[in-house]
A = this chain, B = another copy of it.
Amino acid sequence: MTKKQLFEQIQKKQSFLCVGLDSDIDKIPEHLLGGEDPLYTFNKDIIDSTSPWCVSYKLNLAFYECLGLKGWHAFEKTVAYIRQRYPNHFIIADAKRGDIGNTSEMYARSFFNELKVNAVTISPYMGEDSVKPFLCYPNHWVILLALTSNKGSEDFQLTTDSDGEYLFEKVLRVSEKWATDEQMMYVVGATQGKLFKKVRTIVPNHFLLVPGVGIQGGSLEEVCRYGMNSQCGLLVNSSRSIIYAGNDDEFAEAAGREARKLQLEMKEMLDKYL
């Protein structure tokens, strides 16, 4: 999917919502647990009820890996389901991978050849040669961690060098030479508020994947005020607020309502800031 196509979807649906399928086997409705593949069933129902209100799905590998083979299989099936039923949705594997060159090549093969997701999140710590192998797949995206939503972002990302530059700014500045905004996006946590201004000074045109709206407490309005650009440039993720909105046999409808609520807020933001 190209940047232009993604923006077209955003305009068409008046939404830049990414639904995070961080599906925890210990939190999904109990009545599903007797089924053959509870996680996949949960995901399918959530996808069906939320797809009108979002443009993207993000699956965090951790929630699938912890179930071993069954989890991996549920992950594969979920991605295939979205590909088949909702081919215009942008699928992100939230894996935060990254390794030396030949190893990163194997990861890239996993995600782009095998699983056929549109994008994968990558950690920048090991530098250019750990990221480049993922950039060898045209029409596929790297989403590089820059400024994350959690408290631990203070430990390294928000430390400064002798020029007063934050590490996350250095990551943006250095990495944007590795690929254009047609192949690279960045993770910037919604909780980071005004720091979106600094981000946009360095990368005005890149799409940003923005977790942390919802349970983590980030403000959608602040993110849009400081972070939206002329092609929107934002994919705002919400997971737990949506997927656990309900806990009985109407869980999917409850999720759909939460997604719709967020989409309506996003429509307002597009009217205001685009």
**Chain A contact residues, CB within 8 Å of chain B:** 22, 24, 60, 62-63, 65-69, 72-73, 76, 94, 96-101, 103-104, 106-107, 109-110, 113-115, 123-131, 145, 148-157, 159-162, 164, 167, 170-171, 174, 211, 216
- Whether the pair A62, B145 counts as a contact (CB closer than 8 A) is no
Q: List 12 A-B contacts (CB under 8 A).
A: A60-B103, A62-B107, A62-B110, A68-B110, A69-B73, A72-B72, A126-B145, A126-B152, A129-B150, A156-B171, A160-B161, A160-B162
Which B residues lie within 8 Å of A67 (CB)?
114
Instruction: State the copy count for this chain.
Output: 2
Q: Which residues of B contact A211 (CB under 8 A)?
A: 100
- The reply to whether B96 and A150 contact each other, CB–CB distance below 8 Å, is no
Among residues of B, the one whose C-beta sits closest to the C-beta of A113 is B66
- Please state if A106 and B65 are interface contacts (CB–CB under 8 Å): yes
Q: How far apart are A99's CB and chain B's nearest CB, in angstroms?
A: 6
Closest 5 CB pairs of A and B: A127-B152, A127-B155, A62-B106, A162-B162, A66-B110
